[in-house]
Structure 1
Amino acid sequence: MAIEGAASVRVRSALSHVARHSSGPALSPDLRITLNFHPDRLVGGVTVLHALARDGAYHSQFVTGVGNGGLTAHLGGDRWRWESRIFAGAYDDADPAERPVYGALNFRDQNVGAAPRFGSAHLRLGSEALRRTTFCYPDSWSEPSDFGVHTGMSLLGLAEADHRDALDDYIEAHVHGGVALARDAEAIVLDPCYRDTEIEAAARTLPCPLEWHPGYRLNASTLHRYAAYRGREYTDLGARIARTNRLDPTVLDAAVIGTAARAGDHDPQDLKKVWHILARFGAPAGAGTARAAE
């Protein structure tokens, strides 16, 4: 691990603390951590993908101030409190850039990444990252009591025996010591709705290969079938957004939701629920959400 000074001390402290509360068999080195995100959301006036290309690193919400879940990554916020509990205060007075970044363990080998709840794109990290990652199940917002590290991972059995909603079916991962793309990323994987766009162009400048998954799509005329999942107002909003799709106004996809998010005409939390509907019911074969998307 290329981690120095105080950051190295914090990482060792956090890993050691979680390891003492972990048990079970070691992880297979063939498993991968993925970091799901929306590539076309704005951070500091540029898209997340362009920021990745500019910085050469994937940053936590404590650095960016944006995220695809709750926005509580600040001193005294829920994310700060959860990390203080999980890592025994190792990061309480840390610089934001020293804090871990969040992803999930792709133990189900999903082609869309392990936690599509958080975005249509993902970075796939190499096996070295497993050694400096801690895990919990379920998600840290639920203040879990079950943890893991690469040498002791009882969480696989817990997750495989559980019956959660498909968007909640992930083992949360905390990658310590930073994520530098040139060092850590095996690939960036995009939805094909971003082909021949600025997002693809930015992805091709990253120091890792670009791959594609099959893509998320829902016909706007069928959205009403899923109104019970997040609410009728969100299926109606999805149908209205789909009409702005220049390629096909009958289709809701990740890119058209991203365009709506950048326009700023809708509450981001409303658009997040529209994405959940698409991710849950418009997933391709090879995604966990597709298993129960009748």
Structure 2
Amino acid sequence: MEWKGDANANKKRESQFTEELSESQLSALEYVTNYAQIRKSEAVQTIHEILQMSNVDREEFEDAVVKIKSHAKIALHFHPDRLDPVKKSVAEALLEQGVYKSQFETLLSSGSVSAYSGGPRDLWEERLFGGAYQQEGVSNSERPKYGALDLMRHSDGPAPRFGSCYFLLSPEVSYRSTYTYMDSHQNPVQKGTFAEFDDMMAALLEEIFLRDSALGEKDLRSQKLVDHLRVNLTMPFSDSSKCEAKRNLNHYIEAQVHGNIRLKEDVEILVADPSFKGTPTGQILEQICLQYAIQLYWHMGFAMWVDEVPSDFRGPTMPSLAKRIAHHGYIDASMIGSAAMHLKHDPAAWRDRGTEKEVLQELKLLWHVLVRYGKPLRNFKL
């Protein structure tokens, strides 16, 4: 399905924004594009049927897709205070190096910690990109960086499970990215690029049609989505501190960015958790934005009283872990980060809870609890 007068413009933009990619990165993009091309006919049929049954005007839908391709940004979620193997924080590395690195380079992940040759992430990337990154001579720096396409513009980002803060990239970066409907480690059937995006739109419309929800948005119908995309994607970014979080842990369009992500050229906005305000980490985040000309916003944050932490969401050990790391009777993102830092510096102090890997997993799960059940941080400031 080509969007009236848009096909040639998109091909020109894609060519322009993929010029600096390596052979392996271009190969990955081509592989996913060809895969989506094979599924195009079925996807187009699904789109046609759902638009018809939902009484959505075809031209309005086509305009919504044009708005995605010209305005939608990819969000990269991260925890700024996590330490790499040499005990440098993510924020410090970003400030010093000016680039956002892949998990194969940092050995850090808010998802699967398996970025090494022959590991689970390596194997699913081989499947996803047709072995593009398993070719001889491919370096770790060439590997894709993972984010989520920000269509709904939730204040806490499209995939907050992966980090308390997030960068919003220039829309041009989206043209050198591949997409999967939901997390790539699950080997989803629907994949695409901006050159072949029908599979993504068909999956999105189908979920809305069947569930009345998608991408963390409840009570969502096809017309409501189309109206939102046509209007809100073109609006200036709003103050996140005044917007309620959507707490979307599980439903997103994953984006795999191919090529370098340079803070100066590719990042437009940083949305940070307010628990870092006034802390050393927060000061570094502010320096990053000043040095690389990035707009800084703060969202509402997440905080939670210790005695409200449930034992039936992410495991029965969550209440005791929350009690251990809390200050003034509550937890927030910076407290979880401080615990992760202490674990790295003094793993022996945490042996009563397990190995370093096990405790890091617990802290990751506690962050999920905080996103799901936490309240705005301003309610907890004493």
Per residue, is there more helix in 1 or in 2? 2
Identity of aligned residues (%): 36
Equivalences for 1:165-244 in 2 at 5 Å?
A: 166-206=248-288, 207=292, 208-223=294-309, 226-242=310-326
Q: What is the CA distance between 1:16 and its match in structure 2?
A: 1.3
1:13 paired to 2:27: yes
Question: Given the superposition, is the C-alpha separation of residues 121 and 136 from structure 1 closer, same or farther in structure 2, using an over 3 Å criterion?
Answer: same
Give the match for residue 37 of structure 1.
78
Give the match for residue 82 of structure 1.
124
Amino acid at match of 2:203: L
Give the match for residue 101 of structure 2.
59
Amino acid at match of 1:183: E
Query: After the TM superposition, which of the residue ranges 232-241 and 270-279 deviates more from structure 2?
Result: 232-241
Question: Given the superposition, is the C-alpha separation of residues 49 and 3 from structure 1 closer, same or farther in structure 2, using an over 3 Å criterion?
Answer: farther
Amino acid at match of 1:134: T
Per residue, is there more strand in 1 or in 2? 1
Give the match for residue 288 of structure 1.
none
Q: What is the CA distance between 1:3 and its match in structure 2?
A: 5.6
What SS does the corresponding residue of 1:218 show, helix, strand or coil? strand
Query: Over aligned residues, Cα RMSD in angstroms?
Result: 2.1
1:35–1:103 CA contact under 8 A, matched in 2: yes
Q: Structure 1 CA distance, aligned partners of 2:164 and 2:90?
A: 12
Equivalences for 1:138-149 in 2 at 5 Å?
A: 138-149=182-193
Amino acid at match of 2:312: A
Q: Structure 1 CA distance, aligned partners of 2:124 and 2:287?
A: 35
Give the match for residue 336 of structure 2.
257
Give the match for residue 115 of structure 1.
159
Give the match for residue 131 of structure 1.
175
Amino acid at match of 1:259: S
TM superposition score normalised by structure 2? 0.68
Give the match for residue 289 of structure 1.
none
Q: What is the CA distance between 1:99 and its match in structure 2?
A: 0.8
Q: Structure 2 CA distance, aligned partners of 1:114 and 1:239?
A: 29
Structure 1 unaligned regions, length at least 5: 286-294
**What are the superposed Cα offsets for residues 93-122 of structure 1, whole Å, 9 maximum, x if unpaired?**
310001110001112211112111111011
Q: How many equivalent residue pairs?
A: 276
Amino acid at match of 1:236: S
1:65–1:71 CA contact under 8 A, matched in 2: yes
Amino acid at match of 1:120: S
TM superposition score normalised by structure 1? 0.87
Which of structures 1 and 2 has the bigger CA Rg?
2
2:276–2:334 CA contact under 8 A, matched in 1: yes
